[in-house]
Structure 1
Amino acid sequence: MSNASWIQMPPEAGLTQVEALAALRTSEERFHAFVTSGTNVVYRMNADWSEMSQLVGHNFIADAPQPTNNWLAEYIYPEDQTRLLATIAEAIRTRGVFEMEHRVRRLNGSVGWARSRAVPLLDAQGAIREWIGNAVDVTERRQNEQNLNEAQERYSGLLNSINEGYCVIEMIFDDNDTAVDFTYVEVNPAFEKLTGMSGVLGRRVRELIPDVEQRWLDVYGRVALTGEPARRIDEVKPINRWFEVCCFRMGGPESRKIAILFNNITAQVETENALHASEVLYRGLFNAIDEGFCIIEMIFDAANRPVDYLILEVNPAFEQQCGLLDATGKRILELLPDHEPYWFEMYGKVALTGEPVRVQVESKALQRWFETRAFRIGGEGSLKVAVIFNNITERKNVERKLQEQAHALSDLDRRKDEFLAMLSHELRNPLAPMTNALHMLRLQPHKDPVQRQALGIIERQLGQLKHLVGELLEISRITTGRVQLRLERIALSGVLHRAIETAQPLLEERRHVLEVSAPPHPVWLQADPSRLEQVVVNLLTNAAKYTDPGGRIWLSVAQDGQEAVLRVRDTGIGIAAELLPHIFDLFTQADKSLDRSQGGLGIGLCLVQRLVELHGGNVAVTSVLGQGSEFVVRLPVTSLDLKPLLPPQAEVVRPAGKCCGVLVVDDNVDAAQSMGALLAMHGHEVRVVHDGAAALEALQSFPAGVVLLDIGLPGLTGLEVARRIRQLPALKDLVLVALTGYGQESDRERTREAGFDHHLVKPADFDAVLKILEALQ
């Protein structure tokens, strides 16, 4: 203690005892005045510090008016005692100043910090007589230093641990306050990884990147001059990297230092990482996104079941997306008492497991649909969940309306198919008596020319009507999924031969030249021959109808790898470009003229496509209006190691023998009577009835050999009549012929199971009926 040196002055030689005592008293008074008038702690220690003679604590530490040997334990913090004694020993050894900062027990019992300093008082021989010291309360300063150190540690720890790059730069300006360069003052470990630059401290950017763009210097210069922070996404072209940068000035207006936080977004660093990287960036994203965003804290009951949640924070879009106002700090059940439990279960699971979730779910209480993403904030044990959501009610309404429209269209399409099936079946009923009547007219002798002409017209038009009804029935079967292919190994040439025979009358009528080309070897298919014949006939008749009389048509077949390729080309009117994409659609026709000279329902090409696809193939068309069309059918060929085909059995047509009894059963009176009349004209004995019960009754007295039995009878159906006949031993040899509008394999199977011997599709071909009768002879 420098200002206490006067205390150690010895009494001068020659002073009397009284004068010496007076001088000592004066010195003590001065010391006492000095001690009591100051604010610092003052203490006196003996030479080896074993005893404290006196201590004045000034409300910092407790006073010690009497000498004490226990001062170390009473005043000094235990962890600092060893260090204190070592410092005292060194001061005693050197007879120098003792100085140290250490912790002490304060008057209020707490621990404080003191900066203590003591000087030795020496006697005439230079030995230490005692120590005089003072101590200053530095608790507040030490606490501030500790806080500063902790802040610096947090600052350094944060900068060293974050994935984002961080640096502090000092701007360099010219005389016009234009930024011309900057020096790197500080960088974090991520700096080098994100920029690819090392050893930058103390160096200028133009030294490291000579071609650095001036716009970067301008941005940082503005921040340094104005103090306004900046955020920028831009490219540093010399190093071929994109950065997202946030920068702000450090210090006051005179400072030229700028702190920069940045991310290398060349690899598209995800938004979540950037959100956690910086509170500034997080807050900007939080407020800027259009999606609703909130942070909630789950509330569980005693059984650990999620029962509610507290809304901690919401973004501006929250209210717009969900409609809840002033939600922050409130429980959801306060705002929405009818909030559904499944929301608690979903968010509770996220909080407990940490597994994120993304769902589309309806809030019935809010009458809104939401697309929701939720993830836990924090580690295991955290009950906080972040929720990002979008109001998709309008989109869901549109989807629902689209689904309803799709269902309505599907139902309409189904009913259309059912109508076509019903229409085509019902149209067959009047065709049967008309066909029979036509046969009856043919058998009449001595027809005059007018009758013959009228008969020809009726025959042709009836044939056309039967063709149209057949097409309607076919398309209805295909669209309702009731077509069953009877696949067998066939040579495509046989199909072509039969199709040409079928189409030949139309080709000759319109004076077309048909050129056919096929490979010398057979092209084998696994196919239904009648259905493929139908495909080729439709293509040929289509070409014939839409080619002016005297035109040319080419039919060719080739094998291309594992495909058979069939082409039908013509010199006809062609197809308009806008019609080509729809040419295979149902009811589509190229002829839109008022006279509809070519007729038809627009079904043929649709049938072609559906039947080809059922065989695993495809059909395409190319055409130029006015220059003809070409249809190309591709079908898979079959392998060559299949069993060889058996030679076709020749059909035996037996000559007419004696007549037999025929029972005709049909509720269509005209059809039944006309069929009966035709059979009678061919010499057969005929009985006609119109229901199942009458048929069973007639068989008791009428010696029938054949029963032509309609399936769709009122009351007792034709199938039931057949079953009852087969139960009668007396009628076991009776031939049963089913007459029906249905000709699928499943329909034939049902008639076989009922006991029928033959199955004829209405309008039944009368020649087929005659063949059955002739076979009985």
Structure 2
Amino acid sequence: MHHDRTEAQRAAPQPTDSVAFDIVDPDERFRALTDCTPVMMWICGVNGRATWFNRAWLEFTGAPLEEQLGDRWTELIHTDDRGRTLTEYESSFHARRRFSLECRLRRHDGEYAWVLVSGAPLYATSGSFAGYTGSCVDVTERRRSELALQSSQQQLRAMFNQAAVGMAIVDLRGRFEEVNQRLAETLGYAAEELAKLSIEEVTHPDHRQLTRDNMRRLLSGEMTSYQQEKRYLRRDGSDVLCLKTVSLLLDERGKPQRFIAVVEDISDRRLAERRMRENEHRLRLALRASGSGVFDWDLEVGKIIWSPELEELYGLEEGDFEGDIDGWRRRVVPEDAERVTKQIEDDMAAGLDECSYEFRAVLPDGRRRWLAGEAAFYYDDAGKPLRMIGVNLDVDERKRFAEALRESEERFRMLADNMAQFAWVADAQGWIFWYNQRWYDYTGTTLEEMQGWGWRDVHHPDYIEGVVERLQYSWDTGEPWEDTFPLRGKDGEYRWFLSRALPIRDASGRILRWFGTNTDITDQRQAEEALKEADRRKDEFLAMLAHELRNPLAPIRSGLDLMALEGQGAGDLVSLMQGQVGHLVRLVDDLLDVSRIMRGKIELRREPVELGALMRSTAEAVRPLLETREHELVVATPDDDVWLDADPVRIAQVIENLLNNAAKYTPNGGRIELVAEADESRATVAVRDNGVGIDRELLPNVFELFTQASRSLDRSQGGLGIGLTVVERLVHLHGGRISVHSDGVGRGSVFTVRLPRAEAPAPASPGTVEEKRVRPLRILVVDDNASAAYMLRRLLAKLGDHRIETAADGPAALEAAAEQRPELVFLDIGLPGMDGYEVARRLRAAPGTRSAWIVALTGYGQADDRRKSAEAGFDHHLVKPADIEDLERLLADLA
């Protein structure tokens, strides 16, 4: 650095270098050098006791020199660090070796700061050990930067794991490096299983080539990211349609590193416009302790002396520095050299005592290193600068940490502001201090309005109390939070959100802050409500359909039963029509059964059931159907009794449906087998036929609702395709399994039911059974369907010498009951005007009919209908068309 001299100075003889140094006393030079550096320096004697500290040390500690000499300086070391620090110091001292460590040192204000302590042994010119000298550098800011970077990485990790869409990091070969839980759930894998696969292995074959082409275009630089709708293969073999966004991550030199993929399941929302991109970089920075070196620049002669430590910072061997300003310039980035030179000149021109600056040094191998300079100026009496003495500190790691932190925060903000969800961050006590841009766009608010607990202003007043209570519980306990509630938008409308928050903890488990998200689920809730409404309407329709079907069936069945009892018409013709009516009744029952079973609203009435007896009785019940088709039925039951804990009606329904199914799809004259076997734990029932068989493509779907095998018109047996669905559900409710096998079309089929066995029941006590004889009864039939009432009256008259009256509505029924005082009332529920429930309540309130048996005979037969009839006072609930056996049983019970 050049400065003009006066004319007298140029004319005066110039001293040599050695003379120039002699002008300043060596002790004075040492004092000036050590006092101008911000690095704390110390010296100890051969006995290890401190003999000297420089000004930087004394200013840092705030204590006089005499209070720190000897061993008293050790009291400044933090108690948690004192033991290991003194141990290292003493072992290094006795071994006569250098040492370096970090510890906390108390400052003049009572606070502790982290310092890097370095020491080296001193030797006299004779070679004898003379003590130790060392330095201390404040590294508190570096450690804070490390903690800030760690916190930023934790936030990115929490966002990755908590994201409401699937995410993955993929290497350049297309293999997963890391996947989040949502992607694993979308594809049906455990996260650790999915991480072992590649993109291609979980991509549908139709989309694999397009995926390869897009990845190649990313690597070639044709594009930086792409978005694609594609199908993925789930673990169970099914496929799922997703919207995939893939980006290529580059390193600092622009070289491809890996892919990051965001996968959103759009199976139910194929045209969804919500997209999210996420970019995440894992920062891997190597940390090392800061070095330092001192320099002495004689401004008058232009010579610069560097200490060996400073030369090492510049990557030089000791003695390689040329010793002038040009040598320094050659080793600094040009624009930095110009900037620092101008700053020094301006500071000296202003008469400043000290200056500080930062610049980039260029190492011999081309690498650059950030250094910080701290220096003091010395002037003559006229104010002319004579000397600049200072220190350069290695701040490369701190600068890199700061830059990495800035980039990390920038990526975090970019990701958070562009994600589909709202995102927010709160401190450990729940004070929210940051929201992403999505929150502000939706609510139309500002951070000043929303920070802290201000978010309550956009919550629905009907829900806010519960939200605050549950959220405060999580703040207090540290448990993750999840809740669903509406939030008001800037348009004044409310939308529903699924909200979550997770705690971010440090290494010791202490909560540093909370990270939360709000996901709009309004469309999902509306779809669910619409589905519930459709399900309710379906139930209402089925109930009404059953009622309307059963009403005309009632007089038909009663008429056929009456014809059979009276011997009218051809017996085989009546029997045939009774069978067809029974078939219609089964269709209606199956339709309602499958509805109840699919909604889990069917209750089993379990009791001990002997399988062989149940099989034989069921086979006899369906034998007439099989005989009409000239089928051969073979029944083989176990030799010993096999007991089940089951609902006998439902198990009989399973066997009957399987036999009916076999008869339906077996040509006339076929063979059907009903075979049972048992081992120690299970009973197996198989129904085999040699009928039309089942196509291999249909075989996996045979138990699905409304599925039927193909059949031609000449062997059509009707049906709704729900019988096997009912069978499969009933077997499952009993804790069993059902399977089907067929060798193909025309080769028959076999249905196999496996049920758990039960212990045999205790033998029943012997008793006598008394045969009941039906006595004449006073009976009232109430039905607005005149045909049904007429046929039921005729049928009841045939079953006994009863006195029977009829009524077509509620008031007429009450009037007839008051006159007749009936013992048995068959009462329809769906009456015009006053319904059957109200009629029953009034009959129970009237003295003359209070003890009468009231039987509901109605087309409404669902569980809710039976509950209402019981509450209204009915004794029994029969569903139209009533079976003659049920009527006979009722009459016998009243005998």
TM range (shorter): 0.5 to 0.7
Match of 1:585 in 2: 704
Per-residue Cα deviation, 1:565-609 (whole angstroms, up to 9, x for no partner): 222233333333443443323322223767881310112112112
Question: Is residue 662–residue 686 contact of structure 1 (8 Å, CA) maintained in 2?
Answer: yes
Match of 1:207 in 2: none
How far apart, CA to CA, are the structure 2 residues paired with 1:379 and 1:755? Answer: 67
CA apart distance, 1:734: 5.2
Residues 730/444 of structure 1: CA separation in 2 closer, same or farther (3 Å cut): closer
Match of 2:782 in 1: 665
How far apart, CA to CA, are the structure 2 residues paired with 1:254 and 1:502? Answer: 99
Structure 2: gaps (5+ residues): 1-19, 33-43, 45-51, 56-114, 120-133, 148-250, 258-281, 289-312, 316-330, 332-361, 371-396, 419-423, 457-467
How far apart, CA to CA, are the structure 1 residues paired with 2:869 and 2:487? Answer: 57
Match of 2:638 in 1: 519
Aligned: 1:255 with 2:364: yes
Question: Is residue 314–residue 363 contact of structure 2 (8 Å, CA) maintained in 1?
Answer: no
How far apart, CA to CA, are the structure 1 residues paired with 2:584 and 2:411? Answer: 71
How far apart, CA to CA, are the structure 1 residues paired with 2:852 and 2:477? Answer: 81
How far apart, CA to CA, are the structure 1 residues paired with 2:821 and 2:500? Answer: 79
Question: Is residue 709–residue 736 contact of structure 1 (8 Å, CA) maintained in 2?
Answer: yes
Aligned: 1:621 with 2:725: no
How far apart, CA to CA, are the structure 1 residues paired with 2:583 and 2:595? Answer: 18
SS class of match (1:536): helix
Aligned: 1:339 with 2:461: no
1:709 to 824, 827, 845: 827
2:673 to 549, 554, 558: 554
CA apart distance, 1:424: 1.3
1:692 to 810, 818, 823: 810
Question: Is residue 275–residue 282 contact of structure 1 (8 Å, CA) maintained in 2?
Answer: no
Aligned: 1:485 with 2:607: no
Paired residues for 1:187-226 under 5 Å: none
2:542 to 396, 420, 438: 420
Per-residue Cα deviation, 1:225-284 (whole angstroms, up to 9, x for no partner): xxx9989999xxxxxxx99677999443672497999xxxxxxxxxxxx99994454455
> What is the aligned length?
533
How far apart, CA to CA, are the structure 1 residues paired with 2:783 and 2:772? Answer: 27
Residues 374/432 of structure 1: CA separation in 2 closer, same or farther (3 Å cut): closer
Match of 1:72 in 2: none
Match of 2:558 in 1: 436
SS class of match (2:453): helix
SS class of match (1:525): strand
How far apart, CA to CA, are the structure 1 residues paired with 2:818 and 2:839? Answer: 14
Match of 2:168 in 1: none
Aligned-pair Cα RMSD in Å: 6.1
Per-residue Cα deviation, 1:466-501 (whole angstroms, up to 9, x for no partner): 221222233344345543322211211121111111
Residues 442/275 of structure 1: CA separation in 2 closer, same or farther (3 Å cut): farther
Per-residue Cα deviation, 1:73-94 (whole angstroms, up to 9, x for no partner): xxxxxxxxxx9xxxxxxxxxxx
SS class of match (1:549): coil
CA apart distance, 1:375: 5.8
CA apart distance, 1:423: 1.4
Per-residue Cα deviation, 1:400-427 (whole angstroms, up to 9, x for no partner): 4334323323432332233213311332
SS class of match (2:826): strand
How far apart, CA to CA, are the structure 1 residues paired with 2:753 and 2:805? Answer: 50
How far apart, CA to CA, are the structure 2 residues paired with 1:581 and 1:544? Answer: 21
SS class of match (1:631): strand
Paired residues for 1:150-189 under 5 Å: 153-154=136-137
Amino acid at match of 1:662: I
How far apart, CA to CA, are the structure 1 residues paired with 2:256 and 2:137? Answer: 28
How far apart, CA to CA, are the structure 2 residues paired with 1:623 and 1:648? Answer: 49
Match of 1:24 in 2: none
How far apart, CA to CA, are the structure 2 residues paired with 1:506 and 1:357? Answer: 63
Paired residues for 1:609-688 under 5 Å: 609-626=728-745, 627-640=747-760, 642-645=761-764, 652=771, 654=773, 661-680=778-797, 684-688=802-806
SS class of match (2:758): coil
Match of 1:475 in 2: 594
Question: Is residue 621–residue 629 contact of structure 1 (8 Å, CA) maintained in 2?
Answer: yes
CA apart distance, 1:689: 1.3
How far apart, CA to CA, are the structure 1 residues paired with 2:509 and 2:650? Answer: 69
Amino acid at match of 1:291: L
How far apart, CA to CA, are the structure 1 residues paired with 2:648 and 2:575? Answer: 31
How far apart, CA to CA, are the structure 1 residues paired with 2:867 and 2:287? Answer: 85
Amino acid at match of 2:453: Y
Question: Is residue 360–residue 372 contact of structure 1 (8 Å, CA) maintained in 2?
Answer: no
Question: Is residue 250–residue 259 contact of structure 1 (8 Å, CA) maintained in 2?
Answer: no
Match of 1:499 in 2: 618
Question: Is residue 116–residue 139 contact of structure 2 (8 Å, CA) maintained in 1?
Answer: no
Amino acid at match of 1:689: A
How far apart, CA to CA, are the structure 1 residues paired with 2:252 and 2:572? Answer: 102
Residues 416/708 of structure 1: CA separation in 2 closer, same or farther (3 Å cut): closer
2:529 to 396, 403, 407: 407
How far apart, CA to CA, are the structure 1 residues paired with 2:841 and 2:642? Answer: 45
Paired residues for 1:343-362 under 5 Å: none
Question: Is residue 855–residue 874 contact of structure 2 (8 Å, CA) maintained in 1?
Answer: yes
Match of 1:211 in 2: none
Question: Is residue 705–residue 735 contact of structure 1 (8 Å, CA) maintained in 2?
Answer: yes
Segment of structure 1 superposing worse, 532-541 or 460-469: 460-469
Paired residues for 1:228-247 under 5 Å: none
Question: Is residue 490–residue 525 contact of structure 1 (8 Å, CA) maintained in 2?
Answer: yes
Paired residues for 1:280-359 under 5 Å: 281-287=404-410, 291-292=415-416, 336=447, 338-339=449-450, 341-342=452-453
SS class of match (1:291): helix
Identity %: 36
How far apart, CA to CA, are the structure 2 residues paired with 1:297 and 1:773? Answer: 75
SS class of match (2:804): strand
CA apart distance, 1:533: 0.5
CA apart distance, 1:365: 7.1
Residues 379/435 of structure 1: CA separation in 2 closer, same or farther (3 Å cut): closer
Amino acid at match of 2:787: D
Aligned: 1:572 with 2:691: yes
How far apart, CA to CA, are the structure 2 residues paired with 1:520 and 1:147? Answer: 90
How far apart, CA to CA, are the structure 1 residues paired with 2:815 and 2:138? Answer: 110
SS class of match (2:780): strand
Residues 542/403 of structure 1: CA separation in 2 closer, same or farther (3 Å cut): same
Q: TM-score scaled to structure 2, two decimals?
A: 0.47
CA apart distance, 1:535: 0.8
CA apart distance, 1:691: 2.3
Q: TM-score scaled to structure 1, two decimals?
A: 0.53
Segment of structure 1 superposing worse, 643-652 or 457-466: 643-652
Q: Which of the pair has more CA radius of gyration?
A: 1
Per-residue Cα deviation, 1:298-344 (whole angstroms, up to 9, x for no partner): 999xxx996x96x9xxxxxx9987789xxxxxxx9996554354378
Amino acid at match of 1:564: A
Structure 1: gaps (5+ residues): 1-37, 44-56, 62-82, 84-99, 104-145, 165-227, 235-241, 262-273, 312-317, 325-331
Question: Is residue 322–residue 366 contact of structure 1 (8 Å, CA) maintained in 2?
Answer: no
